[in-house]
Amino acid sequence: MKLFYFLFVVIMVVLGLQTQVAQACIPNGGVCQANGSAGNCCSGNCYQQAGWANGNCR
């Protein structure tokens, strides 16, 4: 019974960590900085033209 409880706790911790990682990126349409200082886009593409204060994730 203790083994099942231990496995349950381990699985819940792993799922919790995956949720945090998934929310760590900026979704498409979100505000970003080309240098990554505001976070990284999930797509990996932050479109920011010269002179713009912010870009947007595409």
Q: pLDDT for 15-50, tens place per residue?
A: 776 665 556 899 999 999 999 898 899 999 999 999
Residue bearing the bigger pLDDT, 4 or 45: 45
Integer CA distances (angstroms), 21 to 16, 30, 40, in order: 9, 17, 12
What pLDDT was estimated at residue 12?
A: 79
Spell out the domain ranges in the chain.
26-58
What is the pTM (predicted TM-score) of this model? Answer: 0.56
